[in-house]
Amino acid sequence: EEQLVESGGGLVQPGGSLRLSCAASGITLSDLYMDWVRQAPGKGLEWIGRSRNKVNGYTPDYAPSVRGRFIISRDDSKNSMYLQMNRLKSEDTAIYYCVQILEGYWGQGTLVSVSS
Amino acid sequence: DTQMTQSPSSLSASVGDRVTITCQASQDITNFLNWYQQKPGKAPKLVIYDASNLETGVPSRFSGSGSGTDFTFTISSLQSEDIATYYCLQYDNLPFAFGPGTKVDLK
């Protein structure tokens, strides 16, 4: 069974950093384009970034709201994807999901809270 | 950037009612549009892909139509388990964009 599992969320102060992980089972992430989507408490869904597949060099793209602060990376040996979040702001507080849009795979999400 | 508008923002309907939600893109996205169902505390679930294709395992009372800029999502006969928030997503061009969502509840 295909599964995506996010981890790494937690409470962080404004200006701090956090790294989220997305571990896959039942699928090979290196073959797939993968995305990150977030949802602030009580709000809608926001696409924040994409990593192309290995054949396309894992080239990333980012939403304007996180460009220059967030970095997506991969580790083929761990069949995983990461979201490095820097210079965090209170408005980054959200549940973060890793997603494979074409296949409809979503993780369960991990909560990031940015607060002093 | 492509902006997505979705209407209505919420609706109340009775079991058995036909429910229709619309999504409009600010530019042509051909058929690169998905519809998702999200229940409280859960991750979104893909319902319709490529505007009109029913995801495997999803009941046939769900359907989607449209292309270009105007899209429609329909539940032909609302069931209690369909109570959720529904989102459209355009994935034709980056940055991808979700509609603001439609909350469906029981009258």
- For B20-66, write each residue's pLDDT tens digit: 999 999 999 999 999 999 999 999 999 999 999 999 999 999 999 99
What percent of chain A is helix, strand and coil (3-state, nearest 5)?
Answer: 10, 50, 40
What percentage of residues in chain B have a pLDDT greater than 70? 100
For residue B93, give the amino acid letter: N
pLDDT of residue A106: 97
Residue whose tokens read 């519809």: B35
d(Cα B25, Cα B20) in Å, to the nearest integer? 17
pLDDT of residue B69: 98
Chain A residue numbers with beta carbons less than 8 Å from the beta carbon of B46 are 104, 106
What percentage of residues in chain A have a pLDDT greater than 90? 99
pLDDT of residue A82: 98
d(Cα B79, Cα B52) in Å, to the nearest integer? 20
A109 has a chain B CB within 8 A of its CB: yes
Q: Which residue of B has its CA nearest to A4?
A: B43
Q: Give per-residue pLDDT as tens, A60-91.
A: 999 999 999 999 999 999 999 999 999 999 99
Query: Cβ separation of B95 and A108 shorter than 8 Å?
Result: no
Q: A76 in the Ramachandran plot: left (φ > 0), alpha (ψ -120 to 50) or beta?
A: alpha
pLDDT of residue A6: 98
pLDDT of residue B16: 98
CB A108 within 8 A of CB A7: no
Chain B residue numbers with beta carbons less than 8 Å from the beta carbon of A47 are 89, 95-98
d(Cα B36, Cα A40) in Å, to the nearest integer? 17
Q: Please, what is the average pLDDT of chain B?
A: 98
Chain A residue numbers with beta carbons less than 8 Å from the beta carbon of B44 are 45, 97, 106
CA neighbor of B18 nearest in space, from B73, B75, B86? B75
d(Cα B98, Cα B1) in Å, to the nearest integer? 12
pLDDT band at B80 (very low <50, low <70, confident <90, very high): very high
User: Looking at residue A27, what DSSP letter applies?
Assistant: S
